[in-house]
Chain A
Amino acid sequence: MTSISQKIVAELYRAAHADRWTIPIERFADALRASADRAAPADLARYLRGLHLEDFALACACAAGDERAWEHFMREYRPVLYRAADALDASGGAREIADSIYAELYGLPRASATTGESRAQSLFSYYHGRSSLKTWLRAVLAQRHVDRIRVVRRLDPLPEEDSPETLPASTVTITPDPDRVRHRALIQRAFKSALSTLTDRDRLRLACYYTQELTLAETGRVLKEHEATVSRQLAKTRQVLRREVERHLREEDRLDAAQIEQCFAYVLEDPGPMDLGGMLRKNSASDRSI
C-alpha cells in the first residue's frame, strides 16, 4: 500500500471536511492509501490534489456505516441515480438496476456470478475519489445497464433462416451480377484498411456517432468537443475514408476508374454483411486493459 505521510493525510482529512462524519482519520487514511495505489509514485502529489475529497470522505463514511452520511447520500444522490436510470430506460427497467446498486452501496450481499458466494462489501469501496460521486454512480449504472443489454441480446433466439430479418432489405431488387460479390468484398477490405489509418479519437468519434448512434451533442460530450466540431470532424473523417478507399482500390487492388465506380455503386445498393463496430474493434491495435 502506498505510503502517505500523516501530515498529508491530516491535510486531506481537513480538506475533505471528513470531520462532518464520524469517520476516524485512520480509516480515511486507509482508504486514501488504497486509492493512491492507483497512482504512479511520481505522480502521487498531483493525484492526491485531484481527488474529489469531499465525495471521497462521504463514500468512506457511508462504507463505514455512518448513519448521517448515509442519510446525506440518500438525500443528495439517490435522485441522481434514479434520474440517470430513467434517462437510460424510460420504461423503468434501469430503476431496478439503480435499486440493486443502492443495495450494494449499503453493503447488502451480492451473489457472486462465478462462485455463488455472497460478500458484504459495500460498493463504495470501489470508489476512490478520482471522479465525482455522482458521475461514478452514473458510470456504475451505465455499466450494469449495458451488461444487462448485452446478456439479453446474447440470449435472444437467432432469427429463422428464412425470416425476413435475415434477408437484406434490398436483396430482391438487386439484379444478378457476378462482379458484385467480388467488388463489394474489395471495397469492404479497402474500407477496413482505411479505418485502420484513422486515429483513436477519430475512430471513437465514428463509433459514438455511427455505432452507438449518439447525437452530435452527445458525441461531443463524450469527446469533450463542441457538437459543431464533432460534425466537422466527422465530415473530415468521411473524406479521409473515401480518399483512402479510392487509393486502396486503385493502388492495392489495381482497379480502374470504372471498376472503382462500380464498387461504390454496389455498396450504395447494398453494403452487404459488415459491422463497423467489429471493424473498429479488429482495427484496434492493442485492446489492452486500463
Chain B
Amino acid sequence: MTRTKHPDGGSNFAMLERRFKRERAARKAAEKLLEEKSQELYIARLDAEVSLDAMLNAIESLRDGFAIVDLDFCIVRSNSAFNEILERCTGSSVVKQNLLVTLTEICPAETDFTSHQDSILNALRHSSTYEFAGVNGIVLELSAGDVLAFGQTVILRDIVGYKREEERKSAARKSQALGSLAGGIAHELATPLQFIGDNLTFVRDSFATLNSVFDHLSEEFCDSCDRMQLLSDVFVRYDIDYIRSELPAALDAAAKGSSQISKVISAMRFYTEQNKGEREPVDIEMLLKSIVTLSRNKWVYACSFEVRCELENTIVNVIADGLTQVFLNLILNSAEAIGSMDSNLTRHQHKIQIVIRRVSDDLIIVFEDTGPGIGESNIDKVFDPFFTMKLDGESMGQGLSVSSSIINDDHNGHLSVSRSVLGGARFEIRIPGSFDY
C-alpha cells in the first residue's frame, strides 16, 4: 500500500503541533502555579495553626466559662472554666453534651422548667443574656454571641464565684495596703518605744536609789530629834511617803503598757512580713498569736483567750496571707457571737480556745468558743456566700465563705463546722501536706 499526502496534511500537522506546544506549556504553567499555591497554602495553614493555638490559649486563660456550640446547641469546644462550672452543677463531664439540655437540668427542683428552658432558648437565639440560679447555691449568667454559620459562642459566668473572687482580690488589695501602712507605723513606733522602755528602767533604778537615800537619811537623822523632825516635815510637805509607795506601781504599770505596745508592734511587723500570696514555710504559732494580739480589742472585753500549740515543729507550709484572713474571721466571729449573748457568765468565764496539732501530715487547727453556737437549721449554710446570722447590714456574709475558699481551694484542705463541747461553735481547719517543704 502506498501512502499519499493529504493536500492540507502538512499545514494541519503544523497547526496541531503548535496547539500541542501551547497545551503543554499551559500544563507546565498550571503545575508551577499549583506548586506555588500549595506552598502558600502550607504556610497559611501553619499561620492558622499558630493563630488557633494562641486563640485557644487565650480562651483557656479566661476566668469565665467559654464555649462554642453548634446550631443544635451541642458543645463543640469549651474551656476548662466552662467545664468546671457545669461539672460542679451536674457532677459529671459535659463535653460534647447539649448545652440547652444541660442548663435546663441544673436548676433547682422548684424551678418552672418550661419557662426556664424558654428563657435559655431565648438568650441563645437572640444573642442576649440570662441570669438564673443553679443547684448548690450557684448563680449563673449566660451570654450568647451572634449566631454564625458554625454556631455561636457562649460565655457562662459563675456570678457568686466571680463576686467572691472580686471580694477576695479587694480584701487582698486592702490587706496589702494596710500591711504596708501598718509595717511603716510599726517601724516608726519601734524606736521611740525603745526610748520609753529604756528611760522607764532608768527612772525605776534611779527611784530605787533615791529610796535608798531617803532610808539612809532617816537612819542618819534618827539620833537627832530636831533633824528628824525637819525630815518628817519635808516628807509631809512634799508627800514623800505617798510618792514612795505609789511610784513603783505607776512605773510598773507604765512598763507593762510599754511591753504590751511592744508586743502589738512585733505582731504587726510579723503580720506584714507574712503578707504574701504563696504557700511557704511559716511559724504557725507565731502567726496565730500575732493575729490574737492584733485583734485583742475585739475580744478582750468579751472573753479570755487560750492558744495551745501541740506541735513539736511550728514551721508549716501554708499561705500565710490567706490563713491570716481565716484566723481573723474566725476570731472575730467568735468574739462577736459571745459579745452578743445575754449571758450571766463573766468575761473570764467565756473563752475562745485554739488548739494547733498535727495528725499524720495534716495540720489541724481547731477554734472553739463558749458562744451561742450555730443552730442545726443553719449549720449547712454557714459557708454559703452572703449567708449571715447577723442583722441586715451588719455583715456581708462573706467571711466564712471566703475562709472556706481559702482552706478548701487554695490549700486543698477542709474547713468544717460542728458543735463545741464548750457550748459554742467549733471550726476545724485541716490542711494536708503542711509539713512538706
Determine if chain A interacts with chain B.
Answer: no
Please report A residues at the B interface, Cβ cutoff 8 Å. Answer: none
